[in-house]
């Protein structure tokens, strides 16, 4: 390939090495942790603050001590990142400039009304609109605002509209708001006829819920560990203290939720852990009745239920590792009464099913890529919806109406902006309704993507999705960013990113490693990347990096890696295993203090994740996670430069994990590369809220990488 045309004007890392200031040094306070006879000293345990301490208007002395340390870390980060200050601003403006600031979503119809969203010039949040359908069902020319997130966000450093649900008579809206970034939502109600707020206010909810009738709303409540553990029934016009508990999930490994079934016949409760689920149902005509269990929970049985045409359809892994579809009468939901609709296949993962009056749409994954397949119920005829990119993702979209012959679906690839399509289930034709507009000189044909497979050390073939700007040299001289996750069975999708163009246009190659622990290659791919097989996740990632080096996709001196949350665990582990491999590492909200977190059942998410990591109260599980926990395996080594990002109010990975990890890394750093911690003092796990504020965090990361690559 031809050269990209952008020279390396500065030696890599030059700014980072120039007269580095002394980083903050946290006090060490002995804190012995003795488990199974193993005595560990967690000398930075004192950095912990409760959420009450973090949110207190008048902080106590300990809070001030911790916050002061984090502020010193931020000041240190600002000094080290000062050489890229202008680049950060340039990148932000560049990425923002690609976004169409005034835009409308594709409208959808539900229960006689059309809904869509708009975003406005300079505004961070969306405005939600609706209007009653015309007599022929078509969309009116004008839709009316009913929720303006920008107005609601005023005065808050953080804002998230969790969800909104419209009452069956279309007159009321239940909506939820989080202004702390702690995933604790306040639920409110609005009269859409007048715009008036009802007096009903419900605190500490998960954000979602379901109407049964126009007066009865079901929602889930959180406990002190933020686990969704109860479902309550609220009657409009009453105080939340009068709400009635209808379901209590007492197993600390399970969390519950409630929703209205798409058929509008039932309110459903779903409760689940990592490997087991259970569903309950209640006819909407009996809002004060008792929920009935569909099938009692069983160990390692996952199932979900949909209702249509008087029958229940069950997506289940019962005797089906990659899931199959069953159905049964609503009169008898025992497994013995189930009949098979779509059988299990060893090489295809059945991810989801959308039901229509005369069609089923199967969302499947084969060889790591998503597929959509349609079955016409009246004839049994099937047809696929086909796609051409080497790496892409297709998914069913907003399809609230059962009595329809049109399917909304989304499609995107590493080089194709996301689009919303309508597929006529009868004629098999596709219509593009809207494609993400990239403002400026973007041309998809200027970018290339590939799908390649690395051979892992145990012989398994690991897929990777690659994108770059055409003309970028694939001859061992280009910088490359390798991104991974590899946990919870979550597949990393090869989606388009307009922000990522800022890296590609500067000559970066970007690669997604679909390592074990995700579910790209079926359920076995997940099972072989967790618990006793967790090391496969880390070795796969390293083997992918080695493949890319061997095949000249990158400059060995400019190989970068990045991951967030459990992906932060990934990059933390490979930093310990192969520190010399990387020029720099970006770890966002990284889960790096695995053992201490999994020993503490008061921390959100801990009890629900024993099936993912193991329960360290068991010696074999303790020793296993101790073998890879990044915080516990820091050693004297020449670590690469690191940018570590966290949020003070993070409820999923507590801020003290990366804060402690950074201190220990610096203590053992044998090289000169800086280790930087940046804490968002107002945000949580997802970072800043608002469509533009988020870009500032992306610009920070990209500026760090561009400077490290010598492209400043």
Q: Output b/e per residue, 481-491; b: 16+ Cβ within 10 A.
A: bbbbbbbbbbb
List, in sequence order, every residue forming a beta bridge with 371; answer none if it has no partner: 364
Calpha distance 348→369 (Å, rounded):
10
Q: Output b/e per residue, 375-399; b: 16+ Cβ within 10 A.
A: bbeeeeeeeebeeebbbbbbebbbb
Calpha distance 411→435 (Å, rounded):
9
Calpha distance 451→668 (Å, rounded):
38
Calpha distance 485→465 (Å, rounded):
14
Calpha distance 448→510 (Å, rounded):
11
Calpha distance 258→177 (Å, rounded):
17
Calpha distance 537→490 (Å, rounded):
13
Backbone angles phi, psi at 385, to 5 degrees: -105, 120
Of the candidates 481, 704, 558, the one whose C-alpha atom is nearest the C-alpha of residue 15 is 704
Calpha distance 592→137 (Å, rounded):
53
Q: Which of 565, 629, 651, 689 is catalytic?
A: 565
Residue 391 token pair: 């790496």
Calpha distance 323→342 (Å, rounded):
9
Of the candidates 681, 678, 668, 504, the one whose C-alpha atom is nearest the C-alpha of residue 80 is 678
Residue 408 token pair: 């909304």
Q: Look up 650 and say whether it is catalytic.
A: yes
Q: Which of 128, 363, 650, 689 is catalytic?
A: 650
The angle at the Cα of 544, spanning 467 to 674, to the nearest 5 degrees, equals 85
385 CB contacts (<8 Å, ≥6 apart)? 371, 372, 373, 374, 394, 409, 423, 430
* Separation in Å, CA 687 to CA 364, 484, 645, 691, 709: 31, 19, 9, 11, 25
Residue 647 token pair: 């949020």
Calpha distance 483→493 (Å, rounded):
11
Burial class (CB in 10 A: 0-12, 13-18, 19+), 612: buried
124 CB contacts (<8 Å, ≥6 apart)? 150, 153, 689, 690, 691, 692, 693
Of the candidates 389, 527, 393, 518, the one whose C-alpha atom is nearest the C-alpha of residue 462 is 518
Q: Look up 685 and say whether it is catalytic.
A: yes
Q: Which of 220, 629, 685, 689 is catalytic?
A: 685
Write out 632-685 in H/E/C secondary structure: HHCCCECCCEEEEEEECCCCCCCCHHHHHHHHHHHHHECCCCCEEEEEECCCEC
Count of beta carbons in the 10 Å neighbourhood of residue 595: 25
Q: Is the distance from CB of 375 to CB of 360 less than 8 angstroms?
A: yes
Q: Look up 50 and say whether it is catalytic.
A: no
319 CB contacts (<8 Å, ≥6 apart)? 344
Burial class (CB in 10 A: 0-12, 13-18, 19+), 139: middle
Helices and strands, counts by H and E, the chain: 14, 39
Sign of CA dihedral 71, 72, 73, 75: positive
Indicate which residues carry an active-site annotation: 565, 650, 685
């Amino acid at each position: 390939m031809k050269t990209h045309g952008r020279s390396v004007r500065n030696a890599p890392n030059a700014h980072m090495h120039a007269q580095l200031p002394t980083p903050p040094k946290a006090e060490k306070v002995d804190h012995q942790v003795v488990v199974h006879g193993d005595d560990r000293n967690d000398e930075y345990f004192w950095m912990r603050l409760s959420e009450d301490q973090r949110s207190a208007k008048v902080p106590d002395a300990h809070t001030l001590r911790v916050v002061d340390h984090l502020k010193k870390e931020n000041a240190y980060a600002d000094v080290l990142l000062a050489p890229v200050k202008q680049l950060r601003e340039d990148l932000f403006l560049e990425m923002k400039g690609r976004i169409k600031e005034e835009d409308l979503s594709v409208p959808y119809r539900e229960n006689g009304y059309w809904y869509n969203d708009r975003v406005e010039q300079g505004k961070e949040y969306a405005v939600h609109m609706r209007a009653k359908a015309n007599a022929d069902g078509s969309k009116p020319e004008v839709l009316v605002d009913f929720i303006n997130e920008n107005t609601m966000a005023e005065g808050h450093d953080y804002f998230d509209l969790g969800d909104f649900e419209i009452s069956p008579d279309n007159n009321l809206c239940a909506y939820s708001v989080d202004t702390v970034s702690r995933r604790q939502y306040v639920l409110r109600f609005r009269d859409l006829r007048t715009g008036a707020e009802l007096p009903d206010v419900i605190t500490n909810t998960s954000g979602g819920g379901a109407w049964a009738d126009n007066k009865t709303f079901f929602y889930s409540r959180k406990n002190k560990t933020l686990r969704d553990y109860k479902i309550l029934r609220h009657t409009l016009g009453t105080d939340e203290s009068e709400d009635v508990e209808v379901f209590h999930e007492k197993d600390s490994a399970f969390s519950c939720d409630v929703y209205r079934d798409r058929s509008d016949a039932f309110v459903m409760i779903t409760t689940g852990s990592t490997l087991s689920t259970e569903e309950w149902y209640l006819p909407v005509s009996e809002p004060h009745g008792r929920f009935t269990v569909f099938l009692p929970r069983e160990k390692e049985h996952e199932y979900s239920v949909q209702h249509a045409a008087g029958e229940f359809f069950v997506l289940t892994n019962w005797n089906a590792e990659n899931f199959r579809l069953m159905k049964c009468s609503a009169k008898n939901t025992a497994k013995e009464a189930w009949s098979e609709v779509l059988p299990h296949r060893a090489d295809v993962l059945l991810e989801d099913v959308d039901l229509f009056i005369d069609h089923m749409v199967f969302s499947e994954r084969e060889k790591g890529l998503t597929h959509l397949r349609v079955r016409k119920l009246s004839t049994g005829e099937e047809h696929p919806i086909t796609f051409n990119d080497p790496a892409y993702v297709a998914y069913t979209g907003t399809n609230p109406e059962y009595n329809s012959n049109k399917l909304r679906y989304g499609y995107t690839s590493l080089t194709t902006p996301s689009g919303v399509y309508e597929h006529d289930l009868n004629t098999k034709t596709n219509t593009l309704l809207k494609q993400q507009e990239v403002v400026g000189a973007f041309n998809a044909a200027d970018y290339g993507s590939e799908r390649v497979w690395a051979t892992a050390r145990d012989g398994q073939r690991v897929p990777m999705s690659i994108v770059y700007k055409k003309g970028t040299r694939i001859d061992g001289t280009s910088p490359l960013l390798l991104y991974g996750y590899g946990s919870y069975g979550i597949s990393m999708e090869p989606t388009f990113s307009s922000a990522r163009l800022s890296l590609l246009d500067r000559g970066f190659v970007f690669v997604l490693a679909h390592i074990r622990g995700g579910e790209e290659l079926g359920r076995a791919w997940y099972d072989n990347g967790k618990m006793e097989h967790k090391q496969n996740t880390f070795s796969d990632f390293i083997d992918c990096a080695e493949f890319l080096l061997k095949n000249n996709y990158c400059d060995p001196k400019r190989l970068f890696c990045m991951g967030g949350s459990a992906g932060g665990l990934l990059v933390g582990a490979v930093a310990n295993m192969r520190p010399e491999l990387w020029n720099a590492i970006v770890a966002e909200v990284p889960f790096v203090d695995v053992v201490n977190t999994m020993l503490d059942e008061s921390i959100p998410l801990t009890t629900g994740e024993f099936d993912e990591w193991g329960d360290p109260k068991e010696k074999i599980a303790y020793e296993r996670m101790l073998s890879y926990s990044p915080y516990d395996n820091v050693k004297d080594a020449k670590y690469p430069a690191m940018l570590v990002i966290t949020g003070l109010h993070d409820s999923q990975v507590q801020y003290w994990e990366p804060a402690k990890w950074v201190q220990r890394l610096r203590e053992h750093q044998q090289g000169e590369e800086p280790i930087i911690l940046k804490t968002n003092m107002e945000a949580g796990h997802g970072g800043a809220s608002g469509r533009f504020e988020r870009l500032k965090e992306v610009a920070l990361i990209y500026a760090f990488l561009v400077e490290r690559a010598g492209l400043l």
